[in-house]
Structure 1
Amino acid sequence: MKILNAILFGALVSCGVVAQAAVVLPGAAAKASELAVMPDGGWLGIDKQGLLLLDARGNERARLALRAKQLDVRPQGDGVLAVVMDANAEQVVPVLVDLAAGTLTAQKPFPAPPFGIEASCLYRDTQRIDHLFVIGKDGQAEQWLLHGDQRRLVRKLSLPPHSKHCRADDAGQKLFVSEEHVGLWAYNAEAEGAPGRQLLKGGEVEKKGQVRVLPWKAVPATVGGAAAAGGAAAAGPRAGAAAAAPAAKAIVEPRGQTEPVARTGDAADDPAIWRNAADPAGARILGTNKKQGLLVYDLNGKELQLLEVGRLNNVDVRQDVTVGGRRLDLAVATQRDDNSVMLFAIDAKGHVSAAGAFATGLENIYGMCLYRPADGGLEAFINDKDGSFLQYRIEAGADGQGMSGKLLRRFKVASQPEGCVVDDRNHRLFLGEEKRGVWTVSAKGDAPAKLSMIMPVGPQLVADVEGMALYHGQGGAADYLIVSSQGDNSYLVMDAQAPYRARGSFRVGYNLAAGIDGTSETDGLEVSSANFGGPYAKGMLVIQDGYKRLPDGPQNFKYVAWEDVAKALKLD
């Protein structure tokens, strides 16, 4: 019999035994090479002549003529979404199944990939967006997004060669791929995030009652979504690889994004926001490229300036500060080539220019943030990978030219920090120790450096602890601390006042209308409550994206309307 009974997946996996069973299938269902059970008790199947819709007795209700392979399905409204490969055209065709009317309606096919298709399968993400994986004989693979008439390439992948079948577990966000003569691999089905894989079970047959991994000659499918992927998939849960579904978090769509940086790999790192007092829409977004220098963007994400000044890591901005008797807007960044601090002046139109630098004596300079004390001056907190923090007062150079730093205070955490932010109103520094959590300490340079842990790493904050920013509510509204929870690609929002209550977490997902992907592995972020007009009238959040998708490309920064965050988390 060509068909492996899908029921075996649930019934036999607990005892670790997989076998073929004598299953009596009615009518035309018995001749199908692959089957999916429909919610009404009928069947969707494929044979050499086409895709077939069958009733519970195996009688044909509808047929779509094509040389069909690789069937997969998901529920959609009162019917079913199916995908099937047209083996002659080497294209995957989505099909809408209307169970009440008994019809099959082919939709716009996916573009033919630059390789022959050996396997294809569906995945439905936490935003309820459908994706298609297509895999070639040599391991080339692509992930596509399916939404109405949209067919958008999300990313390219490298998967095992000679992969005959795949299935996705929507709840666990896993893509299962069988590699001939090896076993079953589990991949992250989410495009946002680091690539990785796990071998669930290797070998064709193992000894003495252990799980037998069957070849995937036919792959039954169920409308429920999680894969029943023949015998091989049955090995997965017994091997301890069936991941628990991640905790549900609110999803916020980005409203805009910057042009990608000019360097591939891990390049973009930290943003800052400069507000144009005369023209809210004339704001500037500064971003570091740690392989090149400082970038300046407008609110449409267009790159306006590139200052090639070396390996900048973190950047921060303070406006209307007094340095050497002059009132000006300044950006400050850490420079990893020579462990120095670089300063940049920002004029009234948002043009950025180098304004000086000073040495720190640190060995591995890393993160930084700015503080404007009550006297209107400017101070900077600089940290090192060894946990050291140095607090500097920014001053005019000895000759009245350039700028320098006067060391006020030093303290240390036990392990590597990076992100930090200062609440100027309340003179509090918040800093992140990447593996341990969020600390707070007085920002005053003459105060004892007594640190207090306010949010340890745990379920709400998953290491690494990275970028940090403060949202200052207008008109007496609450202030919030936003922290990049890099380990689960989310953002934690906390009250910025004791007892620092957690208000919730969110992720940034796809904006399909604008063709913008979500964010993941975020290093730096920045927020402002200022009115920037349009969608950002109640403020904006700028987030570094570690994996640019839709399609793949160098890293960039995403723009999020604060109003969307506040609505998603029901903030004041």
Structure 2
Amino acid sequence: MNTMLSLPKCGLLAMLISLASAAALAASPTPKLKLQPWSHPQQLSFNALGFLPGAATTERLASAREGLFLLDEQGRELTRLEGAFDGLDSRALGANVLVASLDNTRQQATLVSLDPKKRQWGRPLYLPPRDFPVNGLCLYRDEASNLFVFLVGEEGKGEQWLVGAGEHLSATAQRVRGLPLPPDAKTCQVQDDSQQLFVNEERVGWWSYPASSEAETVRVPVAMHAPFGDIQHTAGALATVSGGVLGLDPKAAQLHLYQPDGETWTPRAKLSLPGLKEPESLAARRTKTGIEVLLRDDDDGRLYQGELDWQPSPVPLAPVLPSVAAIAQSEPVARQGDAADDPAIWVHPTTPGLSRVLGTNKKQGLLAYDLQGKLLQELPVGRLNNVDVRANFKLGTQTVDLAVASNRDRNSLSLFSIDRANGELREAGEIATSLQEIYGICLFQPADGELYAFANGKDGRFEQYRLSAPDGLVQGQLVRQFSVASQPEGCVADEQRQRLFLGEEDVGVWAVDARADQPATLSAVIKVGPPLHADVEGMALYQAKGRDYLVISSQGNDSYLVLDAEPPFAVRGAFRVGLNATAGIDGASETDGLEVTSVNLGGLWSQGMLVVQDGRKRMPEQTQNFKFVPWADVAKALHLP
């Protein structure tokens, strides 16, 4: 995966806004920093400092060649964990504190819990030895309270590891993903509320990355070395507070302050540090009146503390969406890159536990999984994009269930019969379309027993075909055509109301009469814009005892939207499929297709199942796959009736 560089917008409006922001900052008073030496009678060679988590705490943390330390406000030792440590970060862990550092003796990252009241250290958790030297590390707690540690290594090697959930440290750490970082990065910090990872590149500047384990790997410059920015010599240690970033230029003995300005960062102030020759370690936390800081001068090892009279303005944050977890996932598909696309659920007519999840691999063909995600069958028939399923199709004298997929190799519909006894799929034929670039497909089965397929192309055209096989050979009769203005893909038919929902990726969702003899008049269901983020991708219907919901993949913010499936199509809420720390299953993101059923499939699937394609398979990093989520958990998260 290549790291993408995201730079500030170059348009005239963006430039004017940036200049106006800079002018406003220049007109505001410059923050002042009052530093004073911090006594530490032990005269230990502390290499990293930190505040004990919690607004009312006065204790500090420190790492040194002699151990990990809990110190009082005057720097007196309260307790230590013996060893040789370098680097430090911490997060609250219930009533305890999780401390992360590098064990120099073992050359491994370590995490250990500390009970600050009893002044007792827990048993350390060591990450496995890495095949690269680790320069630094930092902790991150996500919006679902999962705990991670980032490793910063030499030659641009970075990693993210899951180390805990809620108030508990994991028994073992799990590698989530690799992360390409700057080649000479030494330190990192995470701003939990904005979910941003900050990393230094000593000779270039400071960078911001999305910290979420499901995020795309992009980076944004916070500040650059002169002449492209205001860093005179070296981008050194970082500290973060809500709404702001602090960075040290050790050779210039300067402290830089930055605050966000939309998608970019704006310099707030550049403060001299008189009396310090080479400030290296930096810690910061907000107080009621400003920011409390800790510093170490690498020249003589002296420690300093002080108060910075700066209160960064609160930054609007994206709403925290409820998170549900997959309890099963499919085996990864057998092709690299953007391969897995759309799922469908085939329900066994007599034994729901034997149902199957079908999935397309648009570089290979059609796949079939059991409800635990085990691959049972693969049909390498070509580049299939979307798939849908309906029961009771007359194939000559046989009654079979039918799966239909859009075939991008031949701009056709590929049909598959499903044995109603054992779920085995067989190729059942192909229907040509006149689409130039076929894309999406969904089926419509009105009460009269006929079966229709809606196929769409990238140019916005839809074609509706009546499917039949009176003599055992499938055929498709084109019965209607209509268009939307731009690229569509996902669609789903509501047989109860004879309505078709269709997605126009950059525009929104439309409804149209699904009957072939009716006008194709489009009516808006929901437009792109909060809470639906383009691209609009897969969609499905959950229907059970009057509870009819339309589920949509809101790909632009890695979420899923639930609407009433009847006018006025009220939004019931949005959620994400997050990481399942207990089961070791990563979350889902960049989702293309999805499917849902309300059928009781047994066990945790008693209220049905949601299946979503995962565009970024992590923990471990593998080819794409499909995640299986109990609908009961979605209903609980969104308080659905």
Q: TM-score, normalised by structure 2?
A: 0.82
Give yes or no for the alignment of 1:352 onto 2:375: no
Which amino acid counterpart does residue 544 of structure 1 have in structure 2?
Q
Query: CA 1:436 to 1:218, structure 2 compared with 1: closer, same or farther past 3 Å?
Result: closer
- Specify the alignment match of 2:296 in structure 1: none
Question: Aligned to 1:237, what secondary structure does the other structure show?
Answer: strand
Give yes or no for the alignment of 1:181 onto 2:203: yes
Can you list the C-alpha shifts for 1:500-524, whole angstroms capped at 9, x where unaligned? Answer: 1000011011112211111001000
Query: CA 1:122 to 1:570, structure 2 compared with 1: closer, same or farther past 3 Å?
Result: same
Give yes or no for the alignment of 1:328 onto 2:400: yes
Paired residue for 1:492, among 550, 561, 567? 561
Which amino acid counterpart does residue 379 of structure 2 have in structure 1?
L
Alignment of 1:406-485 (within 5 A): 406-473=477-544, 476-485=545-554
CA distance in 1, matches of 2:96, 2:29: 34
- Shift in Å, 1:114: 1.0
CA distance in 2, matches of 1:536, 1:216: 52
Give yes or no for the alignment of 1:513 onto 2:582: yes
Which amino acid counterpart does residue 351 of structure 2 have in structure 1?
D
Which amino acid counterpart does residue 569 of structure 1 have in structure 2?
L
Can you list the C-alpha shifts for 1:168-196, whole angstroms capped at 9, x where unaligned? Answer: 11111111111121111111111213221
- Shift in Å, 1:25: 1.2
- Shift in Å, 1:105: 3.0
- Shift in Å, 1:17: 7.0
Query: CA 1:422 to 1:323, structure 2 compared with 1: closer, same or farther past 3 Å?
Result: farther
Moved more, 233-242 or 172-181: 233-242
- Shift in Å, 1:227: 6.4
Which amino acid counterpart does residue 511 of structure 1 have in structure 2?
N
CA distance in 1, matches of 2:239, 2:64: 13
Query: CA 1:49 to 1:225, structure 2 compared with 1: closer, same or farther past 3 Å?
Result: farther
- Shift in Å, 1:34: 2.0
- Shift in Å, 1:29: 8.8
CA distance in 2, matches of 1:239, 1:374: 52
Query: CA 1:358 to 1:218, structure 2 compared with 1: closer, same or farther past 3 Å?
Result: closer
Paired residue for 1:110, among 122, 127, 149? 127
CA distance in 2, matches of 1:29, 1:431: 70
- Specify the alignment match of 2:136 in structure 1: 119
Paired residue for 1:531, among 600, 616, 620? 600
Question: Aligned to 1:565, what secondary structure does the other structure show?
Answer: helix
- Specify the alignment match of 2:356 in structure 1: 284
Question: Aligned to 1:530, what secondary structure does the other structure show?
Answer: coil
CA distance in 2, matches of 1:500, 1:214: 57
- Specify the alignment match of 2:638 in structure 1: 569
Query: CA 1:160 to 1:75, structure 2 compared with 1: closer, same or farther past 3 Å?
Result: same
CA RMSD of aligned residues (A): 2.4
Query: CA 1:445 to 1:220, structure 2 compared with 1: closer, same or farther past 3 Å?
Result: closer
Which amino acid counterpart does residue 187 of structure 1 have in structure 2?
Y
- Specify the alignment match of 1:250 in structure 2: 322
CA distance in 1, matches of 2:96, 2:394: 66
Which amino acid counterpart does residue 103 of structure 1 have in structure 2?
Q
Query: CA 1:16 to 1:471, structure 2 compared with 1: closer, same or farther past 3 Å?
Result: farther
- Shift in Å, 1:321: 3.2
Question: Aligned to 2:257, what secondary structure does the other structure show?
Answer: helix
- Specify the alignment match of 2:163 in structure 1: 146
CA distance in 1, matches of 2:128, 2:598: 43
CA distance in 2, matches of 1:78, 1:283: 45
Q: TM-score, normalised by structure 1?
A: 0.92
- Specify the alignment match of 1:271 in structure 2: 343
CA distance in 1, matches of 2:76, 2:476: 83
Give yes or no for the alignment of 1:84 onto 2:97: no
Give yes or no for the alignment of 1:198 onto 2:220: yes
Query: CA 1:158 to 1:236, structure 2 compared with 1: closer, same or farther past 3 Å?
Result: farther
Query: CA 1:326 to 1:271, structure 2 compared with 1: closer, same or farther past 3 Å?
Result: same
Which amino acid counterpart does residue 100 of structure 2 have in structure 1?
V
CA distance in 2, matches of 1:258, 1:226: 41
- Specify the alignment match of 2:292 in structure 1: none
User: Does the CA-based 8 Å contact 2:190-2:196 persist in structure 1?
Assistant: yes
CA distance in 1, matches of 2:465, 2:131: 56
Q: Which runs of 5+ in 1 are unaligned?
A: 1-11
CA distance in 1, matches of 2:148, 2:243: 12
User: Does the CA-based 8 Å contact 2:404-2:416 persist in structure 1?
Assistant: yes
Which amino acid counterpart does residue 395 of structure 1 have in structure 2?
S
- Specify the alignment match of 2:469 in structure 1: 396
- Specify the alignment match of 1:25 in structure 2: 38
CA distance in 2, matches of 1:408, 1:445: 6
Give yes or no for the alignment of 1:306 onto 2:306: no
Question: Aligned to 1:563, what secondary structure does the other structure show?
Answer: helix
- Shift in Å, 1:327: 3.1
Which amino acid counterpart does residue 124 of structure 2 have in structure 1?
Q
User: Does the CA-based 8 Å contact 2:246-2:258 persist in structure 1?
Assistant: no
Paired residue for 1:168, among 182, 190, 194? 190
Question: Aligned to 2:530, what secondary structure does the other structure show?
Answer: coil
User: Does the CA-based 8 Å contact 1:168-1:226 persist in structure 2?
Assistant: no
Question: Aligned to 1:450, what secondary structure does the other structure show?
Answer: coil
Can you list the C-alpha shifts for 1:406-432, whole angstroms capped at 9, x where unaligned? Answer: 011111001100000000111000000
Question: Aligned to 1:431, what secondary structure does the other structure show?
Answer: strand
- Specify the alignment match of 2:234 in structure 1: 215
Paired residue for 2:260, among 237, 253, 270? 237
User: Does the CA-based 8 Å contact 2:201-2:235 persist in structure 1?
Assistant: no
Can you list the C-alpha shifts for 1:193-215, whole angstroms capped at 9, x where unaligned? Answer: 32211122211577xxx744673
- Specify the alignment match of 2:147 in structure 1: 130
Query: CA 1:248 to 1:527, structure 2 compared with 1: closer, same or farther past 3 Å?
Result: same
User: Does the CA-based 8 Å contact 2:340-2:360 persist in structure 1?
Assistant: yes
Paired residue for 1:51, among 49, 68, 92? 68
Alignment of 1:362-401 (within 5 A): 362-396=435-469, 400-401=471-472
- Specify the alignment match of 2:21 in structure 1: none
Query: CA 1:36 to 1:545, structure 2 compared with 1: closer, same or farther past 3 Å?
Result: same
CA distance in 2, matches of 1:517, 1:240: 27
User: Does the CA-based 8 Å contact 1:257-1:301 persist in structure 2?
Assistant: yes
Q: Work out the percentage of aligned pairs sharing the same amino acid.
A: 46
Which amino acid counterpart does residue 380 of structure 1 have in structure 2?
A
User: Does the CA-based 8 Å contact 2:225-2:234 persist in structure 1?
Assistant: no
Can you list the C-alpha shifts for 1:312-342, whole angstroms capped at 9, x where unaligned? Answer: 0000000113466753210000000110111
- Specify the alignment match of 2:410 in structure 1: 338
Question: Aligned to 2:155, what secondary structure does the other structure show?
Answer: coil
- Shift in Å, 1:21: 6.0
Question: Aligned to 1:425, what secondary structure does the other structure show?
Answer: coil
Moved more, 153-162 or 41-50: 41-50
Query: CA 1:393 to 1:527, structure 2 compared with 1: closer, same or farther past 3 Å?
Result: same
CA distance in 1, matches of 2:438, 2:110: 53
User: Does the CA-based 8 Å contact 1:84-1:92 persist in structure 2?
Assistant: yes
Paired residue for 1:552, among 621, 624, 639? 621
Moved more, 334-343 or 191-200: 191-200
- Shift in Å, 1:293: 0.3
User: Does the CA-based 8 Å contact 2:608-2:632 persist in structure 1?
Assistant: yes
- Specify the alignment match of 1:3 in structure 2: none
- Specify the alignment match of 2:273 in structure 1: none
- Specify the alignment match of 2:79 in structure 1: 62
CA distance in 1, matches of 2:152, 2:345: 42
Structure ranking higher on relative contact order (CA contacts 8 Å, 6+ apart) = 1
- Specify the alignment match of 2:289 in structure 1: none
- Specify the alignment match of 1:5 in structure 2: none
User: Does the CA-based 8 Å contact 1:68-1:87 persist in structure 2?
Assistant: yes
Which amino acid counterpart does residue 268 of structure 1 have in structure 2?
A
Query: CA 1:193 to 1:13, structure 2 compared with 1: closer, same or farther past 3 Å?
Result: farther
